[in-house]
Every structure is written in C-alpha cells, then in structure tokens.
A = this chain, B = another copy of it.
Amino acid sequence: MKSAYSLRAQPQMKDIESVRRLISSTGFFSDEEITIAGELVEEALAKGEASGYYFIFAEADGELEGYCCFGPVPLTRESFDLYWIAVAPEQQGSGLGQCLMAAAEDAIRKRGGTRVYADTSSREQYLPTRSFYAACGYRQAALLSDFYAPGDGKLIYCKTLA
C-alpha cells in the first residue's frame, strides 16, 4: 500500500471516468458493469444522497487507486448493499481493499445500518473476491445457482456490523 492515500466520500465529475477506468483495469467486470458503475456516480452527482448511492474514493498523487459504492437497500430498515468495490491491479494485496471496506462499514454504521450484503459470482475467476470478503468478516448467506447465467451462480455474502 502506498504511504499516503486520501479518502473522500463526495463524488466529483472526474470520478465518472476514473471509476470506469479503474474497474476496467481490474479485468473483473463486464462492459455493461463498467457502464453502470459510471452511471451510479452520475446519479449521485445529480441527486446527492437521495440517489441511494454512497461512495468512498481512495486517491494517491491525484490518481484514483480504489473505490467502493454502497447504499441502503430500499424497503429495509437496517440493510445496506455493497454494490462495487475495486482496487487498481498494482495495489491489490496491499490492504487498500480492507481499508475501503472498513471506511464503508463505518459510514454504514453511522447511518444506522447493521447488515451489509455483497453479491459475487460463483465462477472460479471470482475466488480472490470471495477470499477478500471472507477476510473482511463476511460469511456466505446464500447461493442462487445459475443466477447470472447457466453455470454462473450468485453468492450472497453478509456481515453483521458490531
């Protein structure tokens, strides 16, 4: 991990493209997902917290090195979804992901959230993602077989915040 990251919650115009570039660089997201990730930043810029999308951006030397996007699950009292979390390839394994997760959980706790849900694919490619969630204290709460596509199930991870 670089020695100095600055974390901020407020999205800026430049983040739309920076987020797309960042998550594209990881190789873990489809073109459709890359487009949507940028749209969520646009939505938050337009509507603020009413968009339901909150962020943590981590920058070093003015460059976006990681980010996560999360928000309250509609129609629930205390549940939040972790929509996206991504770290630049050269920073992976550095602890930046866990740092982003801790910052997101802190923000969720402050808004009254007690449970965080994160979805991921059951495909082998996402084994590092699943290990990451486990390391952050998430447990598998459900498996929906063939959800994303035949042979590509959805794993739902959950963490109860202390």
Contact = CB atoms under 8 A, between A and B. Distances in A.
Given A115-B147, A147-B115, A30 B75 contact: yes
Contact of A79 (B30, B32, B75, B147): B147
Contacts of A145: 141
Interface in A68-106: 73-79
Contacts of A148: 75-77, 79
Interface in A39-77: 73-77
Nearest to A79: B147
Interface of A: 30, 32-33, 36, 73-79, 114-115, 117, 141-150, 156, 158
Given A32-B74, A76-B147, A142-B142, 6 more contacts: A75-B148, A76-B149, A79-B148, A117-B147, A142-B144, A142-B156
